[in-house]
Amino acid sequence: MLIVAMAVTMFYSCDDDSDAEGKARVKVSMTDAPGDYKNVFIDVQDVKVKSNISADEEGWVSLSGVEPRIYDLLELTGGVTQLLANSELETGTLGQIRVILGPDNTLVLNDGSEVPLSTPSAQQSGLKLQVNQELQAGMEYEYLLDFDVDQSIVRSGNSGGYILKPVIRLVNLESTGTIEGEVQPSLSQSVVKAANANHNITAYAATDGKFSLNGVPPGTYQVTVTPAIASGLEVKVINNVQVSSGASVDLDVIFLNEL
């Protein structure tokens, strides 16, 4: 998802320097929902914002501090995030945000083979994400782009290659919560999914078993832990997990039984 599912997160805090200058601070970070690949390398060149939501291509501004580089999306799972930009903007309406991709995107399959990840020019120019947030002086806003790898990589029927069609989830973290915990035994990376009728949020557990699902909208969720088939462990389901705004739900240690 370039949005790998794109999640936009907003944090509000006082910033004396920004307030004195009549500006707001905007941060853009990226995280990833898992996919069944060894590596997914994406070439991030720029992050741009627009002050209104009109359809024309005028008015896009690059955020300062963006370092063009290639990121492995599969390193950004289990609650890990990567800061892409940290910039000051004039107050007013932040209408849209987009991440600009370069051409050097590649996919490493589970057998270790590396294949080009074709990125159409329309995708390189960036997927437009609607924000429509009023920026106030002295405040800080952080947007988290949750990139959904599974939905963002498409197999090409004609050539047998792979195409990157970014899917991103946009989330306001101030009004969302977190589900965290630990999966044991951690014989392999388990997939942890929180789902209800409206939302489906997924992350890998880290090699030590710990996980964090960020940007979870308030509500009641079913949490499913799915270990790798080769682990010989059963799937674990936890029902009625209640998530509130600004709060973290700790599921503690989730023990998986043998099949």
For the stretch 98-117, pLDDT in tens is 889 888 999 999 889 999 99
Q: Which range has highest mean pLDDT (18-27, 181-190, 233-242)?
A: 233-242
Same domain? For 62 and 190 the reply is no
Going by pLDDT thresholds of 50, 70 and 90, the confidence category of residue 234 is very high
- The answer to whether residue 153 is domain-embedded is yes
pTM reported for the whole predicted model: 0.74
- The answer to whether residue 194 is domain-embedded is yes
The pLDDT of 206-230, averaged and rounded, is: 92
Same domain? For 126 and 243 the reply is no
- The parent domain of residue 38 ranges over 16-173
| SS3 assignment, position 140 | strand
Same domain? For 100 and 24 the reply is yes
Query: What are the tens digits of pLDDT across the range 35-77?
Result: 778 899 999 999 999 887 666 677 888 998 888 999 998 888 7
- The answer to whether residue 3 is domain-embedded is no
- The answer to whether residue 160 is domain-embedded is yes
* Beta-strand relationship, 140-148 and 23-33: parallel
Same domain? For 56 and 34 the reply is yes
* 12 pLDDT higher than 60: no
Predicted pLDDT of residue 124: 64
Mean pLDDT score of the chain, rounded to an integer?
Answer: 83
- The answer to whether residue 73 is domain-embedded is yes
Q: How many domains does the chain have?
A: 2
Same domain? For 130 and 42 the reply is yes
Same domain? For 167 and 245 the reply is no
Going by pLDDT thresholds of 50, 70 and 90, the confidence category of residue 127 is confident
The pLDDT of 198-215, averaged and rounded, is: 88
The last residue of a domain, from among 152, 173, 194: 173
- E-assigned strand segments in the chain: 23-33, 39-50, 60-62, 69-72, 82-90, 92-101, 106-108, 114-118, 129-135, 140-148, 153-155, 162-164, 168-171, 177-184, 191-195, 200-204, 210-216, 219-226, 236-243, 248-255
Same domain? For 82 and 131 the reply is yes
